[in-house]
Amino acid sequence: MSAFKFTVLAIAASAATTCLATNITVSTTTSNATSLDPSLVSFSIEMDHWADWAGTLQKPNRYTQALLKNIAARTGQPPSFRVGGDTEDHSVYAPQYQIVNDTFPPATNITPWPEATNVSIGRDFYSLSANLPAGTKFTWGINLKSRNVSIAVSEAEALMKAFQSLHTVSLELIEIGNEPDLFPWTSSEDVYIDEWLNVTNAVAEAIHLQKGRKPTLQGAAFAGTKFNMVNLINSGLLTNGSGKYISTLSQHRYQGTFCYGGGGLIQDLMNKAHIRGNLSKYEPDIAATNKAGLDYIFGETNSYSCHGAPGLSNTAGAAVWGIDYSLQAAKLNITRCHFHNGLGYKYNFFQPISGVSDDGVNNTAPHIMPLYHVLVIVGEAIGHNGRSSIQELTIDDTYTSGYGIYEDNKLVRVILINSQLYLSSDAGARPQTTISLQGLSSNAALKAKRFSIPSADATKGLTWAGQSFETPSGIPNGHVVEETVHAGNFTMNATEVVLLSLH
Ligand SMILES: *[C@@H]1O[C@H](CO)[C@@H](O)[C@H](O)[C@H]1NC(C)=O
Ligand SMILES: *[C@@H]1O[C@H](CO)[C@@H](O)[C@H](O)[C@H]1NC(C)=O
Ligand SMILES: *[C@@H]1O[C@H](CO)[C@@H](O)[C@H](O)[C@H]1NC(C)=O
Ligand SMILES: *[C@@H]1O[C@H](CO)[C@@H](O)[C@H](O)[C@H]1NC(C)=O
Ligand SMILES: *[C@@H]1O[C@H](CO)[C@@H](O)[C@H](O)[C@H]1NC(C)=O
Ligand SMILES: *[C@@H]1O[C@H](CO)[C@@H](O)[C@H](O)[C@H]1NC(C)=O
Ligand SMILES: *[C@@H]1O[C@H](CO)[C@@H](O)[C@H](O)[C@H]1NC(C)=O
Ligand SMILES: *[C@@H]1O[C@H](CO)[C@@H](O)[C@H](O)[C@H]1NC(C)=O
Ligand SMILES: *[C@@H]1O[C@H](CO)[C@@H](O)[C@H](O)[C@H]1NC(C)=O
Ligand SMILES: *[C@@H]1O[C@H](CO)[C@@H](O)[C@H](O)[C@H]1NC(C)=O
Ligand SMILES: *[C@@H]1O[C@H](CO)[C@@H](O)[C@H](O)[C@H]1NC(C)=O
Ligand SMILES: *[C@@H]1O[C@H](CO)[C@@H](O)[C@H](O)[C@H]1NC(C)=O
C-alpha cells in the first residue's frame, strides 16, 4: 500500500491582499496513531442531583435519554458516566430513604446551585443507573473522606447489589475518594495510599473483587499536581493489598477557576497554544501510568472549576475549546475526559430538568448548552467502527488546529478547528481562512459538516451540519446538510469547526 501524502495549505486571508500560507503534510496511512476510546467525551455527574439526570424508576428522564442516544448513534456506544465528585465524600447509604435525602447549604451569587453537604443514598439510588441507554458504563464514587470503613462498605455493598440486577448497563469502575490530595491531613502520596488501603481493603473483601473481573478500581482522582502518578506507582500503590484491582488512574483538570467569581476570556480558553501548554505537563504521568499497564483518564474536567464561569463556560467558544481539548487529550493517550456536570452548572452539556437558571435566565424547560456539541462532533469524528485512532496534523498557524482520524490505519476523516475569536460585538466582516488540502487531487470532492456558530459568545443558535439540537425533545431538528468542498480550496470562518469525510 503506497503511503499517499497530502498537504493542508491554510491561507489566512485578511480583508487586504496579504496571504499567509502554511502547508501541512499528512499521511493517508499511519502506523503510529493513538487509539481512540469511543467514550472519549464522557460525563462526570455531581452525585447529589443524580436523580434529576436519571429520573425515577417509574419516570425515567426522557430528555436525558434522547440526548445520550444521539451520541450512541454516532459512536456506537453511549458516553460513560462517573457519578461522584465532591458529594461522593459527603455520602452515606441510608436505606430508610427511597431515592435520596440531600441537605443543601444556602445559594449565593457565585454558587446559585451549591453542592449538598450531606447525601443520604436511598434504596433505589444506584438502580436509577438503568434509566440510561443500554450499554452505558458506570464509575461510581464511594466516601473515603469520612475514613469510616462501615460507611464505605455499606455503600459498596448496596452498589454491587443494585448492579447485580441491572442487565442493560454495567459497573465498570469504583472510585474510592474524590480529590484526596485536598484532604487537609493527606500530606503525601504515602499517606493517601495508607488511608485508601485502610478503607479499600475492607471494601474489596466485602464485595469480593477479583483481579481481571469488573468492576475494577479507579485510583488517585487528584485535584492538582502536588501529588503525581509517578510517585504513586513508585510508592507501591499497585502492588499492596487491594491496589492490585486498580485498572485506571484519574487526574482532575480545570483551565481556571470561578470559585471566587471573576472568570476569563473566551480567546484564552480556546487558544491553541494554551490548550497544548496546559496538557503537555501530564505526559510523564501518562507515560508512567501506561507503563504500569493502566489507563490514564481525566476523571473530572471542564473549563473553569466551581461550576463554570458565566459568559465563558456556557458559550459557543467553550464548545470550540472542548473539541480541541478532548482531541488533544486523546492524542496524548488520555483515554477519557469526563466533563463535570451538575444541576444548574454553567459548564454543563445540558440541564436535565426544567426550572434551572443559568446565565441569569430561568429556563422553563430542560435544554442543552453549547458544550453538548462536543459530545456530538467529537463522537462523529471518532465514528462507530470502535477501532479508530488519531494523529494530530502539524499546522503552522496560530488559530487552526486539526487531527486525522484513521480506521485500520487509513485516513478516513479530518477535523479542523478554527479558534480565531469572533464576537457578536465585532464590527466588519467575519475573518475567514482558506484551506487547501494538497496532494489529493485539488478537485477531489470531500463531504464537509460544519459547526456553525453565530459568534464565540453566543449561547444559542448553534447548528451542526444544518441540524439544531436546541429542541424540547433533544431530538435534532432539520435535515443533515453535508456540503461538498473541493480539497484544494475551501474556507473556514473564525470560530468554526469542520469535519471532512474522505469517503
Ligand atoms: C505549499 O506547498 C506548495 C506545493 O506543495 C508550494 O508550492 C508552496 O510554496 C507551499 N507553501 C508554503 C508557504 O510553504
Ligand atoms: C509516534 O507518535 C509519538 C507520539 O505522538 C511520537 O512521539 C513519535 O515520534 C512517533 N513515532 C514515529 C515513528 O513517528
Ligand atoms: C453531614 O453534615 C454534618 C453537618 O454539616 C457533618 O458534620 C457530617 O460530617 C456530614 N456527613 C458526611 C458524611 O459528610
Ligand atoms: C434529611 O437529612 C437531614 C440531615 O442531613 C435531616 O435534617 C432531615 O430531616 C432529613 N430529611 C428527611 C425527610 O428525613
Ligand atoms: C462510622 O459510621 C457509622 C455510620 O454512620 C457510625 O455509626 C460510626 O460511629 C462511625 N465510626 C466511626 C469510627 O466514626
Ligand atoms: C502496604 O500497606 C500497609 C497499610 O497501609 C502498610 O503498612 C505497608 O507498609 C504497605 N506495604 C508495602 C510493601 O508498601
Ligand atoms: C489507617 O488505619 C489505622 C488503624 O485504624 C490508623 O491507625 C491509621 O491512622 C489509618 N491511616 C490513615 C492514613 O487514615
Ligand atoms: C492554560 O490555559 C489558560 C487559559 O485557559 C491560560 O491562561 C494559560 O496561559 C495556559 N497555560 C499554559 C502553560 O499554556
Ligand atoms: C495508551 O494507553 C493504553 C492503556 O490505556 C495502552 O495500552 C497503550 O499502549 C497506550 N498507547 C501509547 C501510544 O502509549
Ligand atoms: C424558575 O421558574 C420555575 C417555574 O416558573 C420556578 O418553579 C422556579 O422556582 C424558578 N427557579 C428559579 C431559580 O428562579
Ligand atoms: C479558491 O476559490 C475562490 C472562490 O471560489 C477563488 O476566487 C480562488 O481563486 C481559488 N483559489 C485557488 C488557489 O484555487
Ligand atoms: C461564516 O459566518 C457568516 C457570518 O456568521 C455566515 O453567514 C456564513 O454562512 C459562514 N460561512 C461558512 C462557510 O461557514
pLDDT digits (tens, 9 = 90+) for 162-213: 999 999 999 999 999 999 999 999 999 999 999 999 999 999 999 999 999 9
Ligand 10 mean position, distance from CA 352 (Å): 14
pLDDT tens readout for residues 297-333:
999 999 999 999 999 999 999 999 999 999 999 999 9
Q: What is the pTM of this model?
A: 0.94
Q: Outline where 332-422 has alpha helix (H).
A: 372-382
In a domain, 427, yes or no: yes
Burial of 132 (0-12, 13-18, 19+ CB in 10 A): buried
Tell me how far the alpha carbon of residue 102 lies from the centroid of ligand 4, in angstroms: 8
Residue 457: closest CA among 286, 257, 321, 276:
321
When divided into structural domains, the chain yields a total of 1
Q: Whose CA is nearest to atom 9 of ligand 5?
A: 148
Nearest to 302 by CA among 184, 390, 223, 402: 223
Question: Is 24 domain-assigned?
Answer: yes
Q: How far, in Å, from the CA of 493 to the mean position of ligand 12?
A: 6
- Whether ligand 4 lies within 6 angstroms of the CB of 98 is answered as no
Residue 269 domain flag:
no
146 lines ligand 3 (CB under 6 A): yes
> pLDDT tens digits for 42-92?
999 999 999 999 999 999 999 999 999 999 999 999 999 999 999 999 999
User: Which secondary structure element, helix H or strand E, spans residue 157, and what is its range?
Assistant: helix 149-164
Query: Which set of grid coordinates corresponds to residue 485?
Result: 468542498
CB 250 within 8 A of CB 297: yes
State whether the beta carbon of 194 lies less than 6 angstroms from ligand 7: yes
Residue 14 is part of which domain span? 5-34+389-502
Tell me the CA–centroid distance for residue 461 and ligand 10, in Å.
23
Res. 370 pLDDT band, cuts 50 70 90: very high
Ligand 2 center to 314 CA (angstroms): 35
What is the DSSP annotation of 160-205? HHHHHT--SSEEEEEEE-SSGGGSTT--SHHHHHHHHHHHHHHHHH
Top-confidence residue, 29 or 132? 132
**Residue 49 in domain:** no
Among all ligands shown, which has an atom nearest to the Cα of 30?
2
Q: In which band, very low, low, confident or very high, does the pLDDT at 9 lie, cut at 50, 70 and 90? A: very low
pLDDT band for position 334 (cuts 50, 70, 90): very high
Quote the CA–CA distance of 426 and 93 in Å, as a whole number.
53
State the pLDDT at residue 28. Answer: 86
pLDDT (0 to 100) of residue 438: 74
21 lines ligand 1 (CB under 6 A): yes
CB distance 408 to 463 below 8 Å: no
Q: Measure the CA–CA gap between 448 and 6, rounded to whole angstroms.
A: 17
Nearest CA to ligand 1 atom 10: 23
Q: Is the residue at 485 inside a domain?
A: yes
Q: 106-122 in b/e burial notation, b at 16+ Cβ within 10 A? A: eeeeebbbbbbeebbbb
> Quick check: is 250 in a domain?
no
For residue 120, report the distance from its CA to the centre of ligand 4, in Å: 8
Residue 101 has pLDDT above 80, yes or no: yes
Distance of alpha carbon 140 from alpha carbon 483, whole angstroms: 42
Q: C-alpha grid cell for residue 392?
A: 494530530
Q: Which residues line ligand 9 (CB under 6 A)?
A: 34, 290, 295, 333, 335
Q: How far is the CA of 303 from the centre of ligand 8 (A)?
A: 11
Beta bridge partners of 246: 217
- CB of 110 sitting under 6 A from ligand 3: no
C-alpha distances in Å from residue 442, one per residue of 8, 172, 414, 439, 461: 11, 47, 16, 8, 33
Cβ neighbourhood burial of 15 (10 Å; 0-12, 13-18, 19+): exposed
CATH of the domain at 19: 2.60.40.1180
Give dist(CA 71, CA 361) in Å, integer. Answer: 27
393-446 pLDDT, tens digit each:
999 889 999 999 999 999 999 999 999 999 999 999 999 998 888 766 778 899
pLDDT attached to residue 27: 74
Q: Whose CA is nearest to atom 3 of ligand 12?
A: 430
Residues with CB under 6 A from ligand 8: 255-256, 264, 268-269, 274, 277-278
Residue 457 lies in a domain: yes
Provide the terminal-to-terminal Cα distance of the chain, rounded to the nearest Å.
18
Determine contact, residues 178/221, Cβ cutoff 8 Å: yes
